[in-house]
Amino acid sequence: MRVPATTRDESVLVLTGGSTSVAVDVTGGVPRVLHWGPRLERTSSDSEFLAGLTEDQHAADALTGSRRLPAVLPEQSAGWMGTPGLDGHRDGTTFTTRFTSSGHELAGEPDRGQVLTTRAVESDAGLALTTSIELSGNGVLRLRASITNTAATGAYTVNGLRMVLPVPSEAREILDFTGRHLRERTPQRHAMRVGTHLREGRRGRTGSDAAFVLAAGSSGFGFGHGEVWAVHTAWSGNHATFAELGLSGVAVLGGGELLLPGEVILAPGETYPTPWLYGAYGTGLDAVAAAFHTELRSRATHPASPRPVVLNTWEAVYFDHDLEALEQLAKLGAQVGAERFVLDDGWFLGRRDDNAGLGDWRVDPEVWPAGLAPLVQAVRGFGMEFGLWFEPEMVNEDSEVAREHPEWILASGERLPLAGRHQQVLNLTVPEAFSYVLEAMSALIQEHSIDYVKWDHNRDLAEAGDRRTGEPRVHAQTLAAYALMDELRRRHPGLEIESCSSGGGRVDLEVLQRTDRVWASDCIDALERQRIQRWTGQLLPPELIGSHVGAPTAHTTRRTHSLAFRAATALFGHFGIEWDLRRASADELEELTAWVSLYKQERELISTGTVVRCDYPDEAYWAHGVVSPDRSRALFAFVAMDSCVAAQPGRMRLPGLDPRRGYRVEPIELSAGSMVRSRSGFPSWWNRPPVVAGRLLQDVGLQAPMLYPEQALLFRLVDDATDSRGR
C-alpha cells in the first residue's frame, strides 16, 4: 500500500513473518527499527504503545532531540556517535547529512513476505536515499540502501554505506567465526563489550577468515536455548560486519561493503546500492539456522533435483591426467553409484602443475590429443553427468593470455602484486578480458553439454587495481564475476555451478544467488569436516555443502580414519567421493557402495529436513541430525570427536521431534563398528529397537553408548505407523 503521509497510528509499521516481527518507526528521515524479535500479534492498543516508543527512546547524552535507537542508516545529526551509516563527501565538504522523509510504501502481507521501502532526501548534500527492509514469510530479514547523487553538477564520493539493526540489552554475548585454508569457520565467542567488534574482509573475496554469521544472544545461548539475533553480510568482495555497544547502552549489529579509496564516486544521477544485510532471530542457534535454510530452499533457483553423488578427480589424480586412468576411475565410480563425474584442474593448455596455464582455457592437445570428447563420452556411457573445473578470474604469468595481454592483470601499476599459488588475478572489468573468458568457457560448455562447473578462486585480491589507470577494482571485479556467472547461466540453462575458493573461501548469500553449492573446505579429513560442516550449516542447508569421502589417510592432515567415519561425515551434506578408487580394495568398494546407497535413500530427507544440533554437555561427543518437515522421521549421528573422560556417556536428548508421536529407533548397521562393546554388549536399544515417545526422546533422551574416538554412530527415528522409507 502507498502511504503518502504518516499519522500517529501509522508512525510504527509492523512486518511479521514466521515467529518474527519487526516494528519500524517511519516518522524520521531514515527508518528506525524499534523491535526485531518475537512475533507481535498486533491490536489497536499495541499501535498506541509502539507509537509511544518513538517518543520514549531518548539518548543518554546532552544533545537535544537525539534518539536512543539509531536509524538503519545511522546519522550523527540524529545524535548517533557510533559507526556512521554514510561516510562520504563532496571534495571534503558536505561530509554530514540530515535526511528528511519523502514518503514510504509497505507492500505484501504478513507471513507472505513484506517490503517496506522508504525514500529520503538531503538537499544540502544533493543526495537521495532509498532503503528497503524486507521480512520474508519465513522470518528472515534483509536490508539494503541506495544512495543517489541528485546534484546538477559535481561528484559525490562514497567511502562507506553500512546498515545496522539494534538488538536489546538481553544480547550479552557474541559468536562469530574465523578460520584459514583447511580450517574454515572456526567459532569464537566472547561477551558483548563497550566499543566496536569489527570484522573486516580485505581479501577481495568472502574469505576463510570471514565473520560468516555474527550472532548476539542471551548469556549462554546454545543450539536449542537462549534468544539469538544474527546477521550476515551478503557480499563476495571486501566487506565489514560488526557488533557495537555504545555509551547509551544500545547495541547494534551491522555490515556492508568495505570500499577502497575512490571505488565509488557518483557522478550526477548515479546510484550506489549496498549489499544485502541479512538477519534472523530465534530461540537458539538452530532456530536461526532453520530460518536461513528455509529461506534458501524457497528460492526459485534452489537446486530441486535430488543432489547427485559426485566423483571428483582432484585427490585421485591431481595434475596427472590420462584418458585410460580417468576412464577406469569413472567406471569404478559408476559401479559404486556415483552420478556426476567432475574433471578437476589440469586439463587445459600447459597445465602440468600450478605454475602455468591459468587463463589459457583450451584443452591441452599433448594430454588430450582427441580433446575431452572421449572422456565425456565414456562418462556419459557409464550413466553419469560431466563436470569441469575452471578458475575464470585468475591467470598465471606463465600463460599465453598473460604474455599477450599483461594489461589484463589486476595491479596498482606496473609493479605486480605478490603472487599467490603462482598466479595473479585477471581483470574482468576490462571488457575484452571479460569477453575472452566468457566465450572460452561458453564454447567448452556448449561443445560437451557440460552439466556442472566447479568454479575456483585460489588467491586473495591484493593491490587489486586497473593496471592502466591505477584505480582500485575490487568492487567492480566482484560485480564482473557475478555478471560472468549470470551470463553463463543465461546461455546454458540448467548449468550448475559450485563456489570454491581455496576450499571454503567464497561462501556467502550473494554468490549463492548464482551457484548451486559451495565447497566447504579443501580439507576432507572427516574429523576436521565434522567441525567445518557443523558451522557452515549455521547459514547453509546440507544440500548446498559439498562433502566428500576421501582416501583412508587424509591428504591434508595425514590422519587416518575408517571408511565408516568418512562416509558418515559426508552423508550430512551434498555427498561425493574424492578418492582414487583404483587403489581401494574389493571390500572397500563394496562398503562404499553401501554408503552411497544409504545416501540415496536418505538424501530427500537431508535436502528438505530441519537440521538439529544437540546441546550435548560433553565436548568429546557431538550429536546432530535432520528431522523431516512433518516430523515423521529423522536421521541422527552420535559422533566421538575425542575420548570421553566419563566411563560412560550420558543420554542424548534429541530435539525437533513431535512429542506426541511414537518413534521406532532403527540402528544403521554400517556404523556399528564405532561402538565399544561392553560386557553386556551393545546398548539395549541397538539390539532390541524400541518404540519411544518423542516427548521422552526430547526430554529424557536416549542412552549414548561409548564410541571409539573419531567414529560416528548413525540411527533413524521413524514414526511407528510408517516404515523406514516414510510410507
Residue 422 has pLDDT above 90, yes or no: yes
**Backbone angles phi and psi of 286, in degrees to 5:** -65, -35
Q: Are the C-beta atoms of residues 172 and 156 closer than 8 Å to each other? A: no
Strand partners, 231: 214, 279
Q: What is the pLDDT of residue 211?
A: 98
pLDDT in tens, 629-670: 999 999 999 999 999 888 889 999 999 999 999 999 999 999
- How far CA 533 is from CA of 361, 440, 506, in Å, comes to 32, 34, 15
pLDDT in tens, 90-142: 999 999 999 999 999 999 999 999 999 999 999 999 999 999 999 999 999 99
Question: Which grid cell is 154?
Answer: 559535481
Question: Which grid cell is 11?
Answer: 508512525
CA atoms within 13 A on the CB side of 702: 31
pLDDT in tens, 165-198: 999 999 999 999 999 999 999 999 999 999 999 9
Q: Are the C-beta atoms of residues 494 and 440 closer than 8 Å to each other? A: no
CA atoms within 13 A on the CB side of 491: 17
Q: Are the C-beta atoms of residues 551 and 315 closer than 8 Å to each other? A: yes
pLDDT confidence tier of residue 48, bands split at 50, 70 and 90: confident
Q: What is the pLDDT of residue 47?
A: 72
Q: How many Cβ atoms are within 10 Å of 670's Cβ, its own excluded?
A: 18
Q: What is the pLDDT of residue 10?
A: 80
Mean pLDDT value of segment 49-65: 64
CA 638, CA 674: separation in Å to the nearest integer?
10
Contacts of 105 (CB under 8 A, 6+ apart): 1, 2, 3, 115, 116, 117
pLDDT in tens, 393-406: 999 999 999 999 99
**Which position has the grid cell 560433553?**
618
Cα 601 from chain centroid? 26
Q: What is the pLDDT of residue 4?
A: 35
User: Which ranges in 449-519 belong to alpha helices (H)?
Assistant: 474-491
- Mean pLDDT, the chain, integer: 95
Segments of 304-460 assigned E as strands? 310-312, 340-343, 385-390, 394-396, 423-425, 452-455
Amino acid present at 281: Y
Closest among 376, 385, 335, 396 to 516, alpha carbons compared: 385
Q: What is the pLDDT of residue 53?
A: 73
pLDDT confidence tier of residue 280, bands split at 50, 70 and 90: very high
Percent of the chain with pLDDT over 90: 91
Q: How many Cβ atoms are within 10 Å of 370's Cβ, its own excluded?
A: 10
Task: Mean pLDDT check: name the lowest of 54-63, 152-161, 375-384, 682-691.
Answer: 54-63
Q: Exposure string (b/e) for 435-448, b if CB count within 10 Å is 16 or more?
A: ebbbebbeebbeeb
Q: Are the C-beta atoms of residues 141 and 80 closer than 8 Å to each other? A: no
Residue 7 has pLDDT above 50, yes or no: no
Please identify every residue annotated as catalytic.
456, 522
Mean pLDDT value of segment 445-457: 98
**Does residue 529 sit in helix, strand or coil?**
helix
Residue 23 has pLDDT above 70, yes or no: yes
pLDDT confidence tier of residue 64, bands split at 50, 70 and 90: low
> What value, to the nearest 5°, has the Cα angle with vertex 244 and ends 259 and 201?
30
Q: Are the C-beta atoms of residues 114 and 16 closer than 8 Å to each other? A: yes
